[in-house]
Amino acid sequence: MTTTASLSPVFESTIFIAVSSVVLIRERKELNSAVFRALWPIICLIFLFFASAYTNISSPAGPAEKYYSIYYHFFGVISIWDIGLATVLLAVLMKKKLFFSFGYWQGLPALFLLLVLIFCAGLMHSSAGISPFGPSEFRRVLIAFTGPVYMISIYLLVKNLITNQMELKVILNFLKSMVLALAIYALLRFFLILTGTVQTMWLFALPVIIYDRLIFFYIPVFIWLINALTGEIQKTKILTFIAITGLFLILISTRRLNLLIICCGIFISLAGTGFLMEINIRKSLNFSRKFILLPIIGIIALSFVVPRSLTKLISVVKSLDLYSQTGRHHSGEMRIAESRNLLANLESRRYALLTGYGYGTFWQQKQNQPLDPLTKKIRPFGNWFSQFHLPYISIFYRFGLLGTSVFLIWYFSWFANIVGRLKRTCPKAQVFALSAFVFLMLLLPATLDSLNPTSWICCGGIAAILEKLLCEDINHTY
């Protein structure tokens, strides 16, 4: 299908500029000069992150690698996001407001140190290293490691610059407004796709509306569910709109990872709510039943707009079985071949089973990798691709047995620490804290082998906000 469209990428940015202006006007009472001076670096980065269009209005699928995209690298190295982040970090450092206060070291700083070692392994296996493996350019290793750098940079900024409850509240409200703008943009884009104004890729007869930014809707869905269970849903109409829209978009996204995370996240949120809060689950479920039905009604309505969409959604669920006929057609063959190649590459150098190959290495195709109809659309043959499309599993290729073991020890110890602190958090802060906890627990492992900067940036920011919510100094006044 052609990808021509009459709309400019500026269309997307305009929505976020308008919403940002409304937010700043609404928050003018709380956003006094002192608060703004303290938070301007974070506000600027949030605005840049959302308003710099990186899903082109006419993009067939996924992020567009041009225009204002944080994916596009000028001279093959620097992106517009890199320039913005470096400028903000330099300005904060010059004012001596950024201290390398990592909080408690068992958090993201410890993970970052592990990732630095993985980066060194990647350098060793690059074409400029002492043990090159595959056509892995030195530049590719650097680009692959920008994700962890984004994560720790955002983490440090948020940890240092948010110092009290009012500042935390302002940032959360600003984030909520940006996600509201994204929901509005997604619905407008959906309408324009259905009317034929925007041409896009259709997977299982369902349109690709937005791609990686669907992760922004996980936390709103979890918060909405917890509020429904605790009987507080009537107080959050905007959040309800965001959550329902997000859940609808996730369900028709046809992405296995989206479906996996949202289903597991809902289950863990339910379990966590019952564990942390004393509520009558049956009474709360009866109260929230009408809200739970809304996405179902939306999908039924979609079936009248996009014929056979319900049948196609069932096909998406069936595609979770990679070995089924539906799964093989929906890039299942590619993933099966990748899993075999992953093991074949590790076995080609036995020491890599222990150390891994690090970041940025271009694995050698030991077995033929089929390009099914879906893969040909998303990844045209010949494009450089250093990442296995196997979330969670491919960590072993990067980290090896040793690094993976260290990561798992860190992972379970960090989250055990968070659970203990969640129990001591005030009820008002528990809702967002629990949702952020579920988000990080599910998304962070999938992010570790990702070339997607969106996930890295979100994980760094959400982890810092979560720690702020669990901080004794802020928590007791929340």
Round to whole Å and give the CA distance between 470 and 464.
Answer: 10
Tokens of 185: 């943009």
pLDDT at residue number 135: 66
Tokens of 67: 């225009």
Long-range contacts of 238-242, Cβ-Cβ distance < 8 Å, separation of 24 or more: 238/176, 238/180, 239/176, 240/291, 241/180, 241/183, 242/176, 242/179, 242/180, 242/183, 242/217
Using CA atoms, how far residue 146 sits from 157, 307, 391, 445, in Å, is: 16, 42, 18, 17
pLDDT by 10s per residue, the chain, length 478: 334 444 555 676 777 778 777 777 776 666 666 777 778 888 888 888 877 656 554 555 455 555 556 666 676 667 778 888 888 888 888 776 666 554 456 789 899 999 999 999 988 888 777 787 766 677 778 888 888 999 999 998 888 888 888 888 888 888 888 888 888 888 888 888 888 777 777 766 677 778 778 889 999 999 988 887 776 665 677 888 898 889 888 887 777 788 888 888 988 888 888 777 766 666 556 655 655 566 666 666 665 655 555 666 666 666 666 666 666 666 667 777 788 888 888 888 889 899 888 888 877 776 666 555 555 554 544 444 556 778 888 899 899 999 999 999 999 999 888 888 887 777 778 889 999 999 999 999 999 988 788 899 999 999 999 988 887 555 544 4
What value, to the nearest 5°, has the Cα angle with vertex 111 and ends 108 and 113?
Answer: 115
pLDDT at residue number 380: 46
Tokens 């900067």 label which residue? 453
pLDDT at residue number 5: 44
Round to whole Å and give the CA distance between 70 and 72.
Answer: 6
Tokens 């940890």 label which residue? 159
Tokens 């994560």 label which residue? 151
Task: Extract the runs of DSSP E, i.e. beta strands, from 64-187.
Answer: none
- Compute the Cα dihedral for 250, 252, 255, 259 and give only its sign: positive
pLDDT at residue number 420: 84
**Phi and psi of 74, rounded to 5°?**
-65, 135
pTM of the model: 0.84
Helix (H) or strand (E) holding 24: helix 10-26
Identity (one letter) of the amino acid at 197? Answer: T
